[in-house]
Structure 1
Amino acid sequence: MSTTLTPPPAGTDVPPPAGPPPAGPPPAGPPTRGSSRVVAIIVIAFGALVVLGAIVSAVVGTIAAASVHTTVRSVEASGVDDLDVDVAAGSLRVVYADVNEAELEVTGTWGADRWTLRRDDDTLVVATPDGWSNWFGSGWIFGGTGDAVLRLPQSLEGTDADFSLAAGELTADGEFGEMQLDLGAGRATIDGSATSLDAQISAGAGDLDLEGVDEATLSVSAGSLAVVLSGSQPSVVDLDVSSGSARLTVPEGEYEVTSDVSAGDLDNGLGSTPGADSTIRVQVSAGQAVLRAS
């Protein structure tokens, strides 16, 4: 049997045979050597910084420990009527002791010798280093301005005192006359007695326990203030809380309490007796005020 093949007509194009399918993208290969090198450099640099930080910290700690020392200075206290204390940083404790002159003992590193103790007429001035010297001269890296103790002769009991604390800690124990406290930050703890009290709290915490206060003006802008007044009833107490919290404890007795609360809260545990000899005026713009008797 035979098959007859008929050729295509003249002029007809014959399609070419189909070729292989187009090649796809090449498979992903391993990371290039360049990116691996960058990662390695970053890891090495980070490790070096960690090691360097540890070394610097150890060196600074060793230098600070080796440079700790105590300085003591004194001034004549006879005729002093006022005490002016300004603490920008560090810690100060004020006490009355069996000494003939006012003594300031400071223990610290490079800031211990930069405290101030001097007479300004009848005012005894005590101050910590401030400004750039507080950050670099005394060196916050090396422990700041140190810890100080001010010892006052017992003959100065009843002296008026003006305490200003920008940061750090202030502790005072003893008998004072008119007392002023300006607390910018940090913590102030005062025990003893005073004839009058003016406390302005901008931030931080104040804890005052005083006997014999007849008139008190208390203002809290932020932070907290706790005041305990003992002995005789105070004649007048003005308490203004614009933010933060204040707690006032007074001796048992009758008080005429007036209040103006625009926001916040007043917890009056004293009640109010119109015409009482003792008056407490409270203004609360925000925050909380608490009144109690003991």
Structure 2
Amino acid sequence: MLLIVFGGIILLGTIGSAVVSTLFAASVHTSTRTLAVGGVEALDVDLAAGSLRIEFADVDEAELQVTSSVGADRWTLRRDGDELTVGSPRFFGSGWLFGGSGDAVLRLPESLEALDAELGISAGEITADGAFGDVQLEVGAGRAELSGSARAVSVDLSAGRADVDLADVSTADLGVSAGDLVASFTGAQPRTITVDVSAGSLTLTVPDGRYDVSSDVSAGRFDNRVGSTPGAESTVDVTVSAGNATLRPGD
């Protein structure tokens, strides 16, 4: 009798999963909206869930395309003065069951290259590729990939993982309190780099050259593979209170 009941539960579970999968597939749709960007100088992203890819393209307006089962129409694309803001919906309970926030692509006109960007992630995944001015990346959880070029970059990683691959960075401020940060700078040597690792790990690759490197390690480990040239124009200041930090030269 017990086997019959157990078998019935499994059968009902299988049928239920099939029904949910069918409903989910049938409800997936894509929503696209556009917004004029004349006068825009900065981008502000708040990603609570889902995934977002940011790219520059041959378009005249900002274009947000979202594919999702229930959340496509709840993403936001707005203007706040000279700032363009993008946000994902925050789902709880059944929202996650039916696909959550979905997958989004933000296409920006190439005329906006070199704009400043604030990218905040509390969950989900963000990928950004292009030429930026000052970039601030804050990751509370999830994953971030940032590539292209930037005048300055600031990364605050609390959990998850961030991969940063940028050219011609002048100043960088990299902080890790948990998770893994892998950063690679190419092109011109950065003038100032500040690293603070309180937990987790950071691996930083810098252009080949001379650097004045200073460090304060109270716990954890700092592996300096570029050496130090006192008085060099490029400076690297490393603080490690826990975790691991590695500084190495590029090819």
Structure with the larger RCO, 1 or 2 (CA within 8 Å, 6+ apart) = 2
Percent of residue pairs identical: 57
Which whole-Å CA distance do the structure 2 matches of 1:50 and 1:144 have between them? 26
Q: Which residue of 1 aligns with 2:242?
A: 286
Q: Which runs of 5+ in 2 are unaligned?
A: none
Q: What do the CA deviations read for 1:20-48 (whole angstroms, capped 9, x no partner)? A: xxxxxxxxxxxxxxxxxxxx3x4443333
Q: Does the residue aligned with 2:141 lie in a helix, a strand or coil?
A: coil
Which structure is higher in strand share? 2
Which whole-Å CA distance do the structure 1 matches of 2:124 and 2:10 have between them? 31
TM-score scaled by length of structure 1:
0.83
Q: Which residue of 2 aligns with 1:80?
A: 40
Say which of 220, 231, 242 aligns to 2:176.
220
Give, in angstroms, the shift of residue 136 of structure 1.
4.1
The one-letter code of the counterpart of 1:83 is L
Which whole-Å CA distance do the structure 2 matches of 1:107 and 1:73 have between them? 12
* Aligned residues: CA RMSD: 1.1
Q: Which residue of 1 aligns with 2:136?
A: 180
The one-letter code of the counterpart of 1:135 is F
Q: Which residue of 2 aligns with 1:135?
A: 92
Which whole-Å CA distance do the structure 1 matches of 2:198 and 2:173 have between them? 14
Say which of 124, 147, 152 aligns to 1:191.
147
TM-score scaled by length of structure 2:
0.97
Show structure 1 runs of 4+ deviating over 4 A. Answer: none
Say which of 108, 116, 120 aligns to 1:164.
120
Q: Which runs of 5+ in 1 are unaligned?
A: 1-39
The one-letter code of the counterpart of 2:154 is D
Are positions 1:271 and 2:231 aligned together?
no
Which whole-Å CA distance do the structure 1 matches of 2:139 and 2:88 have between them? 15
Which whole-Å CA distance do the structure 1 matches of 2:80 and 2:69 have between them? 27
Q: Does the residue aligned with 2:92 lie in a helix, a strand or coil?
A: helix
Which whole-Å CA distance do the structure 1 matches of 2:170 and 2:80 have between them? 29
